[in-house]
Structure 1
Amino acid sequence: MDPVGTARTLAAARFPGARAAILGGSANTALRTAFSDLDIVVFLDGPPAPYRETTEHEGLPVEWFCHTVESYDELVERETASRRSPLLHMCGEGAVLLDRDGLGLRTREEARARLRAGPPPLSPVELEDRRYGLTGHLDDLAGAGDPDELVFIADRLMIAVAELVLAVRRRWRSHGKWLLRRLREADPQTTRDLLLGYRKVVCQGNPALLRQVAIGVLDDLGGRLSEGYRRAAPR
Protein backbone atom coordinates (compact mmCIF):
# COMPACT_ATOMS: atom_id res chain seq x y z
CA MET A 1 0.00 0.00 0.00
CA ASP A 2 1.11 3.52 -0.80
CA PRO A 3 0.28 5.31 2.47
CA VAL A 4 0.44 8.83 1.04
CA GLY A 5 -1.64 8.00 -2.01
CA THR A 6 -4.18 6.08 0.03
CA ALA A 7 -4.44 8.82 2.64
CA ARG A 8 -4.81 11.49 -0.05
CA THR A 9 -7.64 9.58 -1.71
CA LEU A 10 -9.41 9.01 1.61
CA ALA A 11 -9.07 12.65 2.70
CA ALA A 12 -10.31 14.04 -0.62
CA ALA A 13 -13.32 11.72 -0.62
CA ARG A 14 -14.29 12.26 3.00
CA PHE A 15 -13.57 16.00 3.19
CA PRO A 16 -13.94 17.52 -0.30
CA GLY A 17 -14.12 21.01 1.17
CA ALA A 18 -11.06 20.71 3.41
CA ARG A 19 -8.53 23.52 3.29
CA ALA A 20 -5.64 21.15 3.95
CA ALA A 21 -4.77 17.63 5.10
CA ILE A 22 -1.49 16.20 6.38
CA LEU A 23 -0.51 12.56 6.92
CA GLY A 24 1.50 12.16 10.13
CA GLY A 25 2.63 9.30 12.34
CA SER A 26 4.74 6.32 11.34
CA ALA A 27 2.86 5.28 8.21
CA ASN A 28 5.05 7.28 5.81
CA THR A 29 8.38 6.64 7.56
CA ALA A 30 10.95 3.88 7.89
CA LEU A 31 9.36 3.06 11.25
CA ARG A 32 6.18 1.88 9.58
CA THR A 33 4.91 -1.59 10.53
CA ALA A 34 2.07 -3.76 9.27
CA PHE A 35 -0.03 -2.32 12.09
CA SER A 36 0.75 1.38 11.56
CA ASP A 37 -2.48 3.30 11.18
CA LEU A 38 -3.04 6.40 9.08
CA ASP A 39 -2.96 9.55 11.20
CA ILE A 40 -4.49 12.35 9.14
CA VAL A 41 -4.82 15.97 10.30
CA VAL A 42 -7.59 17.78 8.42
CA PHE A 43 -8.24 21.53 8.42
CA LEU A 44 -11.85 22.61 7.99
CA ASP A 45 -13.40 26.07 7.92
CA GLY A 46 -15.70 25.38 10.87
CA PRO A 47 -18.06 22.82 12.46
CA PRO A 48 -18.13 19.91 12.88
CA ALA A 49 -14.43 20.56 13.61
CA PRO A 50 -12.78 20.24 15.99
CA TYR A 51 -13.18 16.53 16.62
CA ARG A 52 -11.32 13.24 16.43
CA GLU A 53 -12.66 10.07 14.85
CA THR A 54 -11.41 6.58 14.00
CA THR A 55 -12.55 4.81 10.86
CA GLU A 56 -11.23 1.80 8.95
CA HIS A 57 -9.95 1.28 5.43
CA GLU A 58 -9.33 -2.27 4.24
CA GLY A 59 -8.72 -3.44 7.77
CA LEU A 60 -6.39 -0.53 8.59
CA PRO A 61 -7.39 2.01 11.26
CA VAL A 62 -7.58 5.61 10.06
CA GLU A 63 -7.32 8.32 12.75
CA TRP A 64 -8.84 11.64 11.73
CA PHE A 65 -7.77 14.77 13.64
CA CYS A 66 -10.11 17.47 12.37
CA HIS A 67 -9.41 21.08 13.26
CA THR A 68 -10.09 24.65 12.38
CA VAL A 69 -7.08 26.96 12.32
CA GLU A 70 -8.18 28.34 15.67
CA SER A 71 -8.63 24.97 17.38
CA TYR A 72 -5.29 23.78 15.99
CA ASP A 73 -3.48 26.83 17.36
CA GLU A 74 -5.16 26.48 20.75
CA LEU A 75 -4.33 22.78 21.09
CA VAL A 76 -0.73 23.26 19.97
CA GLU A 77 -0.26 25.93 22.64
CA ARG A 78 -1.62 23.61 25.34
CA GLU A 79 0.48 20.70 24.14
CA THR A 80 3.63 22.82 23.94
CA ALA A 81 3.16 23.95 27.53
CA SER A 82 3.04 20.28 28.53
CA ARG A 83 6.21 19.59 26.48
CA ARG A 84 4.41 16.91 24.47
CA SER A 85 2.78 17.80 21.17
CA PRO A 86 1.59 14.93 18.98
CA LEU A 87 -0.14 17.47 16.76
CA LEU A 88 3.06 19.42 16.05
CA HIS A 89 4.89 16.19 15.26
CA MET A 90 2.16 14.94 12.94
CA CYS A 91 2.16 18.20 11.00
CA GLY A 92 5.87 19.00 11.13
CA GLU A 93 7.04 15.51 10.18
CA GLY A 94 4.12 14.64 7.91
CA ALA A 95 3.31 14.67 4.22
CA VAL A 96 0.93 17.30 2.86
CA LEU A 97 -2.00 15.54 1.17
CA LEU A 98 -4.30 18.45 0.26
CA ASP A 99 -3.58 22.15 0.18
CA ARG A 100 -6.27 24.43 -1.22
CA ASP A 101 -4.81 27.80 -0.23
CA GLY A 102 -1.27 27.26 1.10
CA LEU A 103 -2.37 26.43 4.64
CA GLY A 104 -0.96 22.90 4.50
CA LEU A 105 2.59 23.87 3.56
CA ARG A 106 2.55 26.86 5.88
CA THR A 107 1.37 24.75 8.80
CA ARG A 108 4.04 22.13 8.16
CA GLU A 109 6.85 24.70 8.00
CA GLU A 110 5.67 26.47 11.15
CA ALA A 111 5.39 23.13 12.96
CA ARG A 112 8.90 22.18 11.90
CA ALA A 113 10.26 25.45 13.25
CA ARG A 114 8.51 24.93 16.60
CA LEU A 115 9.77 21.37 16.83
CA ARG A 116 13.32 22.53 16.21
CA ALA A 117 12.97 25.21 18.87
CA GLY A 118 11.98 22.55 21.39
CA PRO A 119 9.62 22.68 24.34
CA PRO A 120 9.91 25.31 27.09
CA PRO A 121 12.63 24.77 29.73
CA LEU A 122 11.82 23.43 33.17
CA SER A 123 11.32 26.15 35.75
CA PRO A 124 13.21 25.82 39.08
CA VAL A 125 9.95 24.78 40.74
CA GLU A 126 9.25 22.14 38.11
CA LEU A 127 12.77 20.77 38.44
CA GLU A 128 12.34 20.47 42.21
CA ASP A 129 9.03 18.68 41.68
CA ARG A 130 10.71 16.19 39.34
CA ARG A 131 13.59 15.61 41.75
CA TYR A 132 11.15 15.08 44.61
CA GLY A 133 9.07 12.61 42.62
CA LEU A 134 12.11 10.66 41.46
CA THR A 135 13.43 10.52 45.03
CA GLY A 136 10.14 8.96 46.11
CA HIS A 137 10.37 6.34 43.37
CA LEU A 138 13.90 5.48 44.48
CA ASP A 139 12.74 5.05 48.07
CA ASP A 140 9.94 2.77 46.87
CA LEU A 141 12.46 0.76 44.86
CA ALA A 142 14.74 0.34 47.87
CA GLY A 143 11.88 -0.72 50.14
CA ALA A 144 10.10 -3.12 47.78
CA GLY A 145 9.74 -6.58 49.27
CA ASP A 146 7.18 -7.93 46.82
CA PRO A 147 8.84 -8.93 43.50
CA ASP A 148 5.70 -8.04 41.57
CA GLU A 149 5.52 -4.59 43.16
CA LEU A 150 9.18 -4.16 42.32
CA VAL A 151 8.44 -4.54 38.60
CA PHE A 152 5.71 -1.88 38.71
CA ILE A 153 7.89 0.50 40.71
CA ALA A 154 10.76 -0.04 38.28
CA ASP A 155 8.47 0.72 35.35
CA ARG A 156 7.44 4.08 36.83
CA LEU A 157 10.99 4.90 37.79
CA MET A 158 12.29 4.21 34.29
CA ILE A 159 9.65 6.45 32.74
CA ALA A 160 10.28 9.22 35.29
CA VAL A 161 14.00 9.16 34.52
CA ALA A 162 13.37 9.18 30.77
CA GLU A 163 10.97 12.14 31.02
CA LEU A 164 13.37 14.07 33.22
CA VAL A 165 16.29 13.55 30.83
CA LEU A 166 14.18 14.81 27.93
CA ALA A 167 12.89 17.79 29.92
CA VAL A 168 16.27 19.08 31.05
CA ARG A 169 17.58 18.76 27.49
CA ARG A 170 14.54 20.58 26.13
CA ARG A 171 13.48 17.59 24.06
CA TRP A 172 9.87 16.70 23.40
CA ARG A 173 8.46 14.03 25.68
CA SER A 174 6.06 11.32 24.60
CA HIS A 175 4.52 7.98 25.61
CA GLY A 176 5.20 4.35 24.79
CA LYS A 177 7.35 3.66 21.74
CA TRP A 178 7.79 7.36 20.98
CA LEU A 179 9.19 8.00 24.46
CA LEU A 180 11.86 5.39 23.76
CA ARG A 181 12.59 6.80 20.30
CA ARG A 182 12.99 10.34 21.60
CA LEU A 183 15.17 9.25 24.50
CA ARG A 184 17.42 7.30 22.13
CA GLU A 185 17.91 10.42 20.05
CA ALA A 186 18.65 12.57 23.11
CA ASP A 187 20.84 10.24 25.16
CA PRO A 188 21.68 6.80 23.72
CA GLN A 189 23.86 5.75 26.66
CA THR A 190 21.28 6.51 29.34
CA THR A 191 18.70 4.71 27.21
CA ARG A 192 20.83 1.57 27.07
CA ASP A 193 21.54 1.69 30.80
CA LEU A 194 17.89 2.25 31.69
CA LEU A 195 16.73 -0.65 29.55
CA LEU A 196 19.40 -2.98 30.90
CA GLY A 197 18.59 -1.94 34.46
CA TYR A 198 14.89 -2.53 33.92
CA ARG A 199 15.51 -5.93 32.34
CA LYS A 200 17.60 -6.92 35.38
CA VAL A 201 14.66 -6.05 37.60
CA VAL A 202 12.19 -8.03 35.50
CA CYS A 203 14.38 -11.06 34.80
CA GLN A 204 16.53 -11.24 37.93
CA GLY A 205 14.71 -9.18 40.55
CA ASN A 206 17.87 -7.06 40.84
CA PRO A 207 17.25 -3.27 40.98
CA ALA A 208 20.89 -2.23 41.55
CA LEU A 209 21.68 -0.97 38.04
CA LEU A 210 18.36 0.82 37.57
CA ARG A 211 18.87 2.54 40.92
CA GLN A 212 22.41 3.55 39.92
CA VAL A 213 21.21 5.09 36.64
CA ALA A 214 18.44 7.07 38.36
CA ILE A 215 20.78 8.36 41.06
CA GLY A 216 23.29 9.40 38.41
CA VAL A 217 20.64 11.47 36.61
CA LEU A 218 19.51 13.00 39.91
CA ASP A 219 23.03 13.86 41.02
CA ASP A 220 23.59 15.85 37.83
CA LEU A 221 20.53 17.96 38.71
CA GLY A 222 21.13 18.65 42.38
CA GLY A 223 20.63 15.22 43.93
CA ARG A 224 17.82 13.71 45.96
CA LEU A 225 15.15 16.00 47.36
CA SER A 226 12.91 15.02 50.26
CA GLU A 227 13.22 16.83 53.57
CA GLY A 228 12.29 20.49 53.29
CA TYR A 229 10.21 20.09 50.16
CA ARG A 230 6.99 22.06 50.43
CA ARG A 231 4.24 23.10 48.04
CA ALA A 232 1.09 25.08 48.70
CA ALA A 233 -2.14 23.25 47.93
CA PRO A 234 -3.67 24.23 44.58
CA ARG A 235 -6.48 26.74 44.78
Structure 2
Amino acid sequence: MDPVRIAREVVEARFPAARAAILGGSANTARRTASSDLDVVVFLDGPPAPFRETTELDGVPVELFCHTAESYESFADRETADRRSPLLHMCGEGVVLLDRDGFGRRTRADARARLRAGPPPLSATDLEDHRYLLTDLLDDLDGADDPDELVFIADRLLIAVAELVLLAGGRWRSHGKWLLRRLREADPEKCRELLLGYRQVVCAGDPVPMRRVAAAVLEGAGGRLLVGYRRGAPAAFRR
Protein backbone atom coordinates (compact mmCIF):
# COMPACT_ATOMS: atom_id res chain seq x y z
CA MET A 1 0.00 0.00 0.00
CA ASP A 2 1.20 3.48 -0.90
CA PRO A 3 -0.63 5.70 1.62
CA VAL A 4 0.49 8.95 0.01
CA ARG A 5 -0.79 7.90 -3.42
CA ILE A 6 -4.12 6.68 -2.08
CA ALA A 7 -4.67 9.79 0.04
CA ARG A 8 -3.75 12.12 -2.82
CA GLU A 9 -6.05 10.32 -5.26
CA VAL A 10 -8.97 10.59 -2.84
CA VAL A 11 -8.40 14.31 -2.34
CA GLU A 12 -8.00 15.02 -6.06
CA ALA A 13 -11.15 13.04 -6.93
CA ARG A 14 -13.36 14.38 -4.13
CA PHE A 15 -12.02 17.93 -3.73
CA PRO A 16 -10.50 19.20 -6.98
CA ALA A 17 -10.67 22.79 -5.70
CA ALA A 18 -9.10 22.03 -2.30
CA ARG A 19 -6.67 24.64 -1.06
CA ALA A 20 -4.42 22.15 0.74
CA ALA A 21 -4.38 18.64 2.18
CA ILE A 22 -2.20 16.87 4.76
CA LEU A 23 -1.89 13.14 5.43
CA GLY A 24 -1.52 12.57 9.17
CA GLY A 25 -1.75 9.66 11.56
CA SER A 26 0.47 6.58 11.62
CA ALA A 27 -0.29 5.21 8.14
CA ASN A 28 2.81 6.81 6.61
CA THR A 29 5.11 5.80 9.48
CA ALA A 30 6.75 2.68 10.85
CA ARG A 31 3.78 2.37 13.23
CA ARG A 32 1.43 1.47 10.38
CA THR A 33 -0.47 -1.79 10.82
CA ALA A 34 -2.53 -3.91 8.45
CA SER A 35 -5.70 -2.20 9.67
CA SER A 36 -4.41 1.39 9.71
CA ASP A 37 -6.68 3.90 8.05
CA LEU A 38 -5.55 7.15 6.42
CA ASP A 39 -6.25 10.39 8.29
CA VAL A 40 -6.41 13.28 5.84
CA VAL A 41 -7.00 16.93 6.73
CA VAL A 42 -8.45 18.79 3.75
CA PHE A 43 -8.71 22.59 3.58
CA LEU A 44 -11.55 24.07 1.57
CA ASP A 45 -12.48 27.70 0.96
CA GLY A 46 -15.99 27.31 2.35
CA PRO A 47 -19.04 25.03 2.66
CA PRO A 48 -19.62 22.14 2.93
CA ALA A 49 -16.63 22.36 5.31
CA PRO A 50 -16.28 21.79 8.17
CA PHE A 51 -17.27 18.14 8.25
CA ARG A 52 -15.83 14.68 8.81
CA GLU A 53 -16.39 11.67 6.56
CA THR A 54 -15.01 8.17 6.08
CA THR A 55 -14.54 6.75 2.59
CA GLU A 56 -12.19 4.20 1.03
CA LEU A 57 -10.00 3.56 -1.99
CA ASP A 58 -8.49 0.21 -2.98
CA GLY A 59 -10.02 -1.26 0.16
CA VAL A 60 -8.19 1.23 2.41
CA PRO A 61 -10.37 3.32 4.79
CA VAL A 62 -9.75 7.05 4.49
CA GLU A 63 -10.89 9.46 7.23
CA LEU A 64 -11.42 12.96 5.86
CA PHE A 65 -11.30 15.93 8.23
CA CYS A 66 -12.47 18.84 6.09
CA HIS A 67 -11.97 22.40 7.31
CA THR A 68 -11.86 26.00 6.27
CA ALA A 69 -8.98 28.07 7.59
CA GLU A 70 -11.33 29.55 10.17
CA SER A 71 -12.84 26.27 11.35
CA TYR A 72 -9.36 24.74 11.62
CA GLU A 73 -8.26 27.52 13.98
CA SER A 74 -11.42 27.16 16.04
CA PHE A 75 -11.06 23.38 16.37
CA ALA A 76 -7.32 23.59 17.10
CA ASP A 77 -7.84 26.25 19.78
CA ARG A 78 -10.60 24.21 21.45
CA GLU A 79 -8.50 21.03 21.37
CA THR A 80 -5.48 22.89 22.74
CA ALA A 81 -7.53 24.15 25.67
CA ASP A 82 -8.46 20.50 26.32
CA ARG A 83 -4.74 19.58 26.17
CA ARG A 84 -5.43 16.97 23.50
CA SER A 85 -5.23 17.96 19.84
CA PRO A 86 -5.48 15.23 17.20
CA LEU A 87 -5.80 17.98 14.59
CA LEU A 88 -2.49 19.65 15.48
CA HIS A 89 -0.75 16.27 15.56
CA MET A 90 -2.16 15.26 12.18
CA CYS A 91 -1.05 18.52 10.59
CA GLY A 92 2.24 18.96 12.45
CA GLU A 93 3.46 15.39 11.98
CA GLY A 94 1.89 14.77 8.57
CA VAL A 95 2.84 14.86 4.90
CA VAL A 96 1.62 17.71 2.71
CA LEU A 97 -0.31 16.16 -0.18
CA LEU A 98 -1.54 19.30 -1.88
CA ASP A 99 -0.62 22.95 -1.43
CA ARG A 100 -1.88 25.51 -3.93
CA ASP A 101 -0.73 28.72 -2.24
CA GLY A 102 1.62 27.73 0.61
CA PHE A 103 -1.19 27.44 3.15
CA GLY A 104 -0.54 23.74 3.72
CA ARG A 105 3.13 24.23 4.56
CA ARG A 106 2.40 27.24 6.74
CA THR A 107 -0.25 25.26 8.60
CA ARG A 108 2.13 22.35 9.17
CA ALA A 109 4.87 24.69 10.41
CA ASP A 110 2.46 26.45 12.77
CA ALA A 111 1.13 23.12 14.08
CA ARG A 112 4.67 21.91 14.75
CA ALA A 113 5.43 25.09 16.70
CA ARG A 114 2.27 24.73 18.77
CA LEU A 115 3.03 21.08 19.50
CA ARG A 116 6.56 21.96 20.64
CA ALA A 117 5.15 24.66 22.92
CA GLY A 118 3.01 22.03 24.58
CA PRO A 119 -0.47 22.20 26.09
CA PRO A 120 -1.58 24.80 28.62
CA PRO A 121 -0.22 24.01 32.09
CA LEU A 122 -2.55 22.43 34.60
CA SER A 123 -4.32 24.98 36.77
CA ALA A 124 -4.56 24.39 40.50
CA THR A 125 -8.24 23.52 40.01
CA ASP A 126 -7.50 21.02 37.24
CA LEU A 127 -4.82 19.36 39.34
CA GLU A 128 -7.21 19.03 42.26
CA ASP A 129 -9.78 17.40 39.95
CA HIS A 130 -7.24 14.80 38.86
CA ARG A 131 -6.10 14.19 42.44
CA TYR A 132 -9.68 13.70 43.54
CA LEU A 133 -10.38 11.26 40.71
CA LEU A 134 -7.29 9.17 41.50
CA THR A 135 -8.07 9.17 45.22
CA ASP A 136 -11.60 7.96 44.54
CA LEU A 137 -10.44 5.25 42.14
CA LEU A 138 -7.78 4.00 44.55
CA ASP A 139 -10.39 3.74 47.31
CA ASP A 140 -12.62 1.77 44.90
CA LEU A 141 -9.68 -0.48 44.08
CA ASP A 142 -9.01 -1.14 47.77
CA GLY A 143 -12.65 -1.91 48.50
CA ALA A 144 -13.45 -4.08 45.48
CA ASP A 145 -14.43 -7.64 46.37
CA ASP A 146 -15.95 -8.50 42.98
CA PRO A 147 -13.20 -9.63 40.56
CA ASP A 148 -15.17 -8.31 37.57
CA GLU A 149 -15.66 -4.89 39.16
CA LEU A 150 -11.95 -4.86 39.93
CA VAL A 151 -11.12 -5.10 36.22
CA PHE A 152 -13.38 -2.17 35.35
CA ILE A 153 -11.93 -0.05 38.15
CA ALA A 154 -8.41 -0.89 37.00
CA ASP A 155 -9.32 0.05 33.44
CA ARG A 156 -10.39 3.55 34.50
CA LEU A 157 -7.40 3.85 36.82
CA LEU A 158 -5.02 2.96 33.99
CA ILE A 159 -6.28 5.87 31.91
CA ALA A 160 -6.41 8.32 34.81
CA VAL A 161 -2.83 7.59 35.90
CA ALA A 162 -1.49 7.82 32.36
CA GLU A 163 -3.21 11.16 31.79
CA LEU A 164 -1.95 12.63 35.05
CA VAL A 165 1.65 11.59 34.28
CA LEU A 166 1.42 13.36 30.93
CA LEU A 167 -0.39 16.47 32.10
CA ALA A 168 1.74 16.97 35.20
CA GLY A 169 4.78 16.74 32.93
CA GLY A 170 3.48 19.34 30.50
CA ARG A 171 2.78 16.75 27.79
CA TRP A 172 -0.15 16.36 25.43
CA ARG A 173 -2.71 13.79 26.51
CA SER A 174 -4.51 11.49 24.10
CA HIS A 175 -6.85 8.50 23.77
CA GLY A 176 -6.42 4.82 22.95
CA LYS A 177 -3.16 3.71 21.38
CA TRP A 178 -1.91 7.30 21.22
CA LEU A 179 -2.23 7.66 24.98
CA LEU A 180 0.09 4.66 25.35
CA ARG A 181 2.52 6.04 22.77
CA ARG A 182 2.71 9.44 24.44
CA LEU A 183 3.18 7.87 27.88
CA ARG A 184 6.00 5.67 26.56
CA GLU A 185 7.73 8.72 25.15
CA ALA A 186 7.26 10.78 28.31
CA ASP A 187 8.11 8.19 30.99
CA PRO A 188 8.93 4.70 29.68
CA GLU A 189 9.66 3.27 33.14
CA LYS A 190 6.40 4.51 34.63
CA CYS A 191 4.58 3.21 31.57
CA ARG A 192 6.13 -0.23 32.00
CA GLU A 193 5.25 -0.38 35.70
CA LEU A 194 1.69 0.75 35.08
CA LEU A 195 1.10 -1.84 32.35
CA LEU A 196 2.59 -4.61 34.48
CA GLY A 197 0.33 -3.61 37.37
CA TYR A 198 -2.74 -3.52 35.15
CA ARG A 199 -2.00 -6.96 33.71
CA GLN A 200 -1.58 -8.30 37.23
CA VAL A 201 -5.10 -7.11 38.04
CA VAL A 202 -6.62 -8.55 34.89
CA CYS A 203 -4.74 -11.85 34.82
CA ALA A 204 -4.33 -12.61 38.51
CA GLY A 205 -6.84 -10.41 40.32
CA ASP A 206 -3.99 -8.81 42.27
CA PRO A 207 -4.36 -5.00 42.59
CA VAL A 208 -1.28 -4.42 44.77
CA PRO A 209 1.32 -3.58 42.05
CA MET A 210 -1.04 -1.25 40.22
CA ARG A 211 -2.05 0.43 43.43
CA ARG A 212 1.60 1.05 44.23
CA VAL A 213 2.23 2.78 40.90
CA ALA A 214 -0.95 4.86 41.02
CA ALA A 215 -0.33 5.92 44.64
CA ALA A 216 3.19 7.06 43.73
CA VAL A 217 1.90 9.17 40.85
CA LEU A 218 -0.79 10.66 43.10
CA GLU A 219 1.76 11.47 45.80
CA GLY A 220 3.96 13.21 43.24
CA ALA A 221 1.00 15.36 42.17
CA GLY A 222 0.21 16.55 45.69
CA GLY A 223 -1.26 13.50 47.39
CA ARG A 224 -4.75 12.30 48.25
CA LEU A 225 -7.70 14.66 48.03
CA LEU A 226 -11.19 13.61 49.11
CA VAL A 227 -12.76 15.24 52.16
CA GLY A 228 -13.17 18.96 51.56
CA TYR A 229 -13.21 18.72 47.77
CA ARG A 230 -15.99 20.88 46.31
CA ARG A 231 -16.98 22.10 42.85
CA GLY A 232 -19.88 24.35 41.94
CA ALA A 233 -22.19 23.54 39.06
CA PRO A 234 -21.33 25.10 35.66
CA ALA A 235 -22.76 28.55 35.03
CA ALA A 236 -25.23 27.13 32.51
CA PHE A 237 -26.99 25.29 35.34
CA ARG A 238 -27.37 28.41 37.48
CA ARG A 239 -30.36 30.73 37.29
TM-score (norm 1): 0.99
Partner of 1:38: 38
Q: Distance in 1 between matches of 2:40 and 2:134?
A: 36
Where structure 2 has 5 or more consecutive residues not aligned to the other structure, the ranges are none
Q: Could you list the structure 1 runs, at least 4 aligned residues long, displaced by more than 2 angstroms after superposition.
A: none
- Pairwise CA distance, 1:206: 0.3
Partner of 1:153: 153
- Pairwise CA distance, 1:34: 1.1
* Count of aligned residue pairs for this structure pair: 235
Partner of 1:49: 49
- Pairwise CA distance, 1:233: 2.0
Q: Distance in 1 between matches of 2:234 and 2:52?
A: 31
- Contact (CA 8 Å) 2:137, 2:153: kept in 1 or not? yes
Partner of 2:100: 100
When structure 1 is superposed on structure 2, of 128-137 and 56-65 the one drifting more is: 56-65
Taking the TM superposition and a 5 Å limit, the aligned residue runs for 1:1-235 are: 1-235=1-235
RMSD: 0.7
Q: Distance in 2 between matches of 1:34 and 1:232?
A: 47
- Pairwise CA distance, 1:71: 0.2
- Contact (CA 8 Å) 2:6, 2:57: kept in 1 or not? no
Give secondary structure in 1 for the equivalent of 2:150. helix
When structure 1 is superposed on structure 2, of 2-11 and 216-225 the one drifting more is: 2-11
Q: Distance in 1 between matches of 2:196 and 2:184?
A: 14
Q: Distance in 2 between matches of 1:144 and 1:44?
A: 52
Letter in 1 for 2:166: L
Please give the per-residue CA displacement for 1:69-100, whole angstroms capped at 9, x wherever unaligned: 00000000000000000000000000000000
When structure 1 is superposed on structure 2, of 4-13 and 170-179 the one drifting more is: 4-13
Q: Distance in 2 between matches of 1:218 and 1:61?
A: 40
Q: Distance in 2 between matches of 1:100 and 1:73?
A: 19
Letter in 1 for 2:88: L
Letter in 2 for 1:173: R
Q: Distance in 1 between matches of 2:30 and 2:79?
A: 26
Give secondary structure in 2 for the equivalent of 1:28. coil
Give secondary structure in 1 for the equivalent of 2:39. strand
State the percentage of identical aligned residues: 74
TM-score (norm 2): 0.97
